[in-house]
């Protein structure tokens, strides 16, 4: 695995070396075209995969370690993200959005996450998480209508973990409470509790809503 990661890291330059070696052998008369063709072929495949697939495989370890600086450095080696294969491009913009959120640059984060959402994702769960983030940012801006739209889309797409799913249901509960549609609010509150979240902030929010939701009509 480590060797494969090294190949990915230096793939572009190794490809240029392979092509240069093939040209050197052919032009010097040491070998003809067909004997050096494998070098050309490997070099071409390496260059194409560098631009169309990119080095995103390398971000797994730093992501797990929480090293977002290293993730950002790896992403910076992608010169033309518009050339990436579409699902990979979507992941690229999701990562860029997450990095911007860590930096609290919410405008940039929203721009990248919207781009990722528009591209779609090979994994519905990733799309759901993406839309939930967009929904929460819209809610923070006070754009309840846009927030509800994104959170509904996130729930439909599927959210990868129960903590985030509980956040989505609680957000919908609050939206319907503000609309005074209490039956729907209670339904979303029950769904949030059924997720059995353990994060203190989410648990505290459930306890706070529970104080008065039972007194609501509907």
Residue 97: inside a domain = no
**Which tokens go with 13?**
């330059």
Residue 174: inside a domain = yes
For tokens 């075209």, the residue is 33
Specify the higher pLDDT residue, 2 or 119: 119
Residue 209: inside a domain = yes
29: left (phi over 0), alpha (psi -120 to 50) or beta: left
First to last CA, the chain: 57
pLDDT number for residue 122: 58
Point out the domain boundary residue: 37, 52, 67. Answer: 52
Question: Which range marks the domain in which residue 16 is found?
Answer: 1-52
Residue 65 has pLDDT above 80, yes or no: yes
Helix ranges restricted to H, the chain:
2-9, 11-27, 33-52, 60-65, 68-76, 86-102, 106-119, 124-140, 144-157, 162-178, 182-194, 200-213
Dihedral of the alpha carbons of 46, 62, 77, 51, in degrees to the nearest 10 = 40
Residue 102: inside a domain = no
pLDDT number for residue 199: 87
Closest CA to 100 of 64, 71, 135: 71
pLDDT digits (tens, 9 = 90+) for 149-192: 999 999 998 887 899 999 999 999 999 999 999 999 999 999 99
Residue 73: inside a domain = no
Residue 25: inside a domain = yes
Q: What predicted TM-score, i.e. pTM, was given to this entire model?
A: 0.75
How far, in Å, are 6, 77, 90, 105, 131 from residue 82 at the CA level?
24, 13, 10, 22, 21
Q: Can you tell me the distance from the alpha carbon of 14 to that of 3, in angstroms, rounded to the nearest whole number?
A: 14
Residue 81: inside a domain = no
pLDDT number for residue 4: 77
Residue 190: inside a domain = yes
Point out the domain boundary residue: 9, 32, 52. Answer: 52
Q: How buried is residue 207: exposed, middle or buried, by Cβ count under 10 Å (0-12/13-18/19+)? A: exposed
* Count of structural domains, the chain: 2
Point out the domain boundary residue: 36, 52, 68. Answer: 52
């Amino acid at each position: 695995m480590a060797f494969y990661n090294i190949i990915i890291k230096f793939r572009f330059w190794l490809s240029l070396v392979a092509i240069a070696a093939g040209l050197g052998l052919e032009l010097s008369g040491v070998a003809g075209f067909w004997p050096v063709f494998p070098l050309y072929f490997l070099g071409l495949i390496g260059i194409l995969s560098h631009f169309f697939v990119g080095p995103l495989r390398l971000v797994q370890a730093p992501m797990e370690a929480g090293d977002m600086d290293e993730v950002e450095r790896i992403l910076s080696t992608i010169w033309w993200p518009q050339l990436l294969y579409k699902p990979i491009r979507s992941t690229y913009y999701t990562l860029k959005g997450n990095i911007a959120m860590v930096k609290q640059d919410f405008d940039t984060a929203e721009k990248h996450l919207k781009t990722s959402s528009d591209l779609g994702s090979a994994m519905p769960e990733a799309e759901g998480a993406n839309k939930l983030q967009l929904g929460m940012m819209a809610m923070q801006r006070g754009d309840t209508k846009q927030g509800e739209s994104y959170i509904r889309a996130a729930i439909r797409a599927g959210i990868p973990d129960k903590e985030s799913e509980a956040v989505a249901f609680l957000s919908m509960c609050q939206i319907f409470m503000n609309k005074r549609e209490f039956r729907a609010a209670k339904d979303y509150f029950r769904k949030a509790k059924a997720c059995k979240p353990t994060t203190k902030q989410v648990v505290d929010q459930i306890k706070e809503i529970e104080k008065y939701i039972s007194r609501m009509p509907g």
